[in-house]
Structures are given as C-alpha cells and as structure tokens.
Amino acid sequence: MIMNNKTVITQFILLGLPILPEYQHLFYALFLSMYLTTILGNLIIIILIRLDSHLHTPMYLFLSNLSFSDLCFSSVTMPKFLQNMQSQDTSITYVGCLTQMYFSNLFGSLEIFLLVIMAYDRYVAICLPLHYTSIMSPKLCVCLVLLSWVISMLYSMLHTLLLARLSFCEDNVIPHFFCDISTLLKLACSDIHINELMIFFLGGPLTVIPFLLIVVSYIQIVFSILKVSSTRAIHKVFSTCGSHLSVVSLFYGTIIGLYLCPSANNFSVKKASITMMYTVVTPMLNPFIYSLRNRDIKEALVRVLIKKISL
C-alpha cells in the first residue's frame, strides 16, 4: 500500500526454513510430531499437578507455570510454521506479525524468570531445609509467579510498541520461520537506535543476570551436598542438576547469541536451526527432563489413573 508517496507494509513474507521440496513432507511430519509431543507432555504435567493434592507444593506450582509457558511458547510459532509448510501463501499480516512477536517475547521472558525461581526453590530446599516452609510460603510463591508474568508482559509490550512506531519500506521478506524482533529491525527503514538500546540495556541483563543466578544457586547446592550427604544423595543431586543445567544452558545460550546484537547481519541456516532449538526442542524436552523422570509425577499419574478407573 502507498500513502503520500510512502510505502506502508501491510503484510510480511515468512521464508521459513530452507528445506528441499523432496524432504518437505518428511520435515512436516517431524515438526508436527514434535509440536504434538510438546502439547501432550506439558498438558499432562499441568493436569496432574492440578488433580493431585500431593503435588500442591511450591516446586510443582512453578513447574505447572513452566509447562504452561512452554506450551504457549511453542504454540506462538509452530501452527503458523506448519501451515506455511503446506501452503503456497507464506504471508503474515503486519498486525499478526507484531502479535506473534509480542507473545514469543512474553513467553520467552516468562520461561527465563520461572527457571530462576525454580533454581532458587531447589537452593532453599537443599541448602536451607529447616527454613524451607517459612521462606517458600504460599504467598511468596504466588507473588513470584505473578511478578514474573507482569514483568514479562511489560517487557514484551515495550518492545512491541517501540517496533510499531517504525516504518517499513518495500522489503517485507523475513528470512525466518516466525516474526523475530532482530530480523524485523533489519527490515525497518527508520531509525532503530532506541530499539537497539532497549534490547541491549533491558534484554541483555534480562538474559545474563538470571543465568548467572541459576549457576550460583546450583554451585551452592553442590557445595552443600558435598559437605553433608552420602554418595547416593550426591549422585542423585548431580544427576538432577546436570539435566536442569543442560536445558538452561541450551535455552540461555541460544538467546544470548541471537539477541544481544540485533543489528548484526548474521542470519543464516545455523541461526534458524538454533532458534528452532529453544522455540521447539526445549519446550518438548522440558516435561521429560523436569517431570516424567520424577517419582512424584509418576506416582501422581498412577493415583489419578486408579481414581479414574475406580469411578
């Protein structure tokens, strides 16, 4: 659309992933199965925690919110991506693009805060067990979750509003499978200095500081266990920390690499693959890593199934 000799973008074109036509159906089936696994796995966790009173604890309150965040985070991008793989029309409206960017930033930020809260919860449970009940009170837990939601919404809204004020010229092709803030900034034909400053001064600390807090929490956990526990307990904690930290490293590492330098012209197949890791693979793996290997979750599943059968 052209208004006053100025081009106004009403839609963008998502290029998606560079998949050869002969492999299109194979990758579609793969991504569809991954998305359905993400939905099913996280829904099971949410439902179990809701139905089983034994799981009404701070740890599982945070876990249910993490599962909901993973479910929504994946749902922001995957349905449109799957639709584009089966369609000749890969366009997305300007409003739809900003909406997708808002929710991807929202649930990505929420995931960061929830991972930090869960690390703190484990630190208190292991390093300060006698004070766990008084420290992790229901009021504090609810406040931490609500605060995470509020900060994530405000952070995402800020970037969305700053992006909405920009002008976009003739180039409306996004070399990505979703509306990512860094690729959208490259298409803008107006000054993006403020956008980059906000990403640097807010996005940087929002990513790096929580990651450091998680690392510090688990270092304290390791030292605490080495001092007082048996070899079996040490092995159990190391196993749990290893799984958690591997997911944290994957999630945080990709975000740090992708978003701290939004103006760099470095989009590639490698970048798209890395993005796919934290938007699709990590939400799919989280239920297995955090929950499905957990004895409490298994016992809760058995109790719920027995209760349903007995009815």
Per residue in 56-111, pLDDT (tens digit) is: 889 889 989 999 999 999 999 999 999 998 887 889 999 999 999 999 999 999 99
CA-closest candidate to residue 45, choices 306, 291, 308, 303 = 291
Query: For residues 289 and 247, is the Cβ–Cβ distance under 8 A?
Result: yes
Predicted pLDDT at 117 = 93
Dihedral through CA 104, CA 253, CA 114, CA 69, nearest 10? 30
Instruction: Quote the tokens at residue 199.
Output: 């990403």
64: CB partners within 8 A, 6+ apart: 45, 46, 49, 50
Number of alpha helices (DSSP H) and beta strands (DSSP E) in the chain: 12, 5
Predicted pLDDT at 266 = 47
Predicted pLDDT at 292 = 57
67: CB partners within 8 A, 6+ apart: 41, 42, 43, 45, 46, 286, 287, 291
Query: For residues 49 and 128, is the Cβ–Cβ distance under 8 A?
Result: no
**pTM of the entire predicted model:** 0.87
Angle (CA) 74-78-79 rounded to 5° is 120
What is the share, in percent, of the chain residues with pLDDT greater than 90? 35
Instruction: Quote the tokens at residue 178.
Output: 């979703």
What tens digit of pLDDT does each residue of 274-296 get?
778 778 888 888 888 766 566 77
Would you place residue 265 in the very low, low, confident or very high pLDDT band (cuts 50, 70, 90)?
Answer: very low
Predicted pLDDT at 5 = 43
What tens digit of pLDDT does each residue of 173-199 get?
888 889 988 888 988 888 899 999 998
CA distance linking residue 149 with residue 111, whole number of Å: 10
Q: Is the pLDDT of residue 259 over 80?
A: no
Exposed / middle / buried, residue 151 (Cβ in 10 Å: 0-12, 13-18, 19+)? middle
What tens digit of pLDDT does each residue of 196-246 get?
999 888 887 888 888 889 989 988 887 887 776 567 666 666 666 666 677
Question: Among 158-162, 248-252, 266-270, which stretch is predicted with the lowest mean pLDDT?
Answer: 266-270
Instruction: Quote the tokens at residue 75.
Output: 């749902």
SS3 at position 2: strand
SS3 at position 178: coil
What is the share, in percent, of the chain residues with pLDDT greater than 70? 84
The per-residue pLDDT of the chain, averaged, comes to: 83
Q: Is the pLDDT of residue 151 over 80?
A: yes
CA-closest candidate to residue 187, choices 282, 299, 94 = 94
